[in-house]
Amino acid sequence: MARHRPAAEGGYQRGEETRARIIEAAIELFGTHGFDGASTRDIARHAGVNAPALQYYFDNKEGVYLACIQYIVDSIWVRLEPSVSAAEAVLARADAGDEALMDAYLAIQGVFVTFASDCGELSPSRQFLARERAGLGPPAAFEVFDRGLNQRLFGVTSSLIGRLTGRPATDEITRIRTIAIDGQGAAFPTKKRNVLRLMGWDAIGADEAARIQSVILEQTRMLLRAFVQARDAGK
């Protein structure tokens, strides 16, 4: 893992600013050119530092890439953590009602739909993540993303779906259902041109994004209520 240390001269704040500048430059270049196409020399030049500075902070190119992954995971958690923690509190209550469980799930989904419907110009972070999801980064990057985000998040959402369907969170059907429901909204950024053509929209702005979120959350609540009815009917 890349080292995290301030510059020897200029103090901690200056070192953190330099490190952040390198990460921002790396996300842009990795997003544009991929892991193999972006060189450490190019990243250093884009960040306005010399090549030894990059090695000082991150050891090598993989270290820079892993720091980029961690930076993106941390930025996602800033928005996601409140709803995940609230859901964990609901799950800790054995007497939590179905509506409370649904509300907890929908709060998490609402954050993710916001990510998915944020379909402005393709940002460097979104380009970076698109390449990473396609498996184009170093293998160690997946582990950082999985430990930092996926494991806790999926543990919560699968537990919520499990409680609402009457199946264990670890059940195969529960996991398939959770993956499918968690992924709603993903088509909007990944198939943006097709969505615009089908909807007759010029762009996906704030109003369009709000309608996407409203429809997805409404249909998810309907689906979750159907799961509860089937559970209570013993199906």
Domains located in the chain, CATH noted: 11-61 (1.10.10.60), 69-232 (1.10.357.10)
Which residue would you say has higher pLDDT here, 117 or 72? 72
Q: How far is CA 50 from CA 22, 53, 166, in A?
A: 10, 6, 58
Q: What pLDDT score was predicted for residue 84?
A: 97
With cut-offs at 50, 70 and 90, classify the pLDDT of residue 206.
Answer: confident
pLDDT tens digits, one per residue of 3-21: 555 545 455 457 889 999 9
Q: What pLDDT score was predicted for residue 7?
A: 46
Q: What is the DSSP string of 91-148?
A: HT-TT--HHHHHHHHHHHHHHHHHHHT--SS--HHHHHHHHHHTT-S-HHHHHHHIII
> The pTM is what?
0.85
Radius of gyration of the chain (CA): 21
pLDDT tens digits, one per residue of 128-157: 888 888 888 899 999 998 999 999 999 999
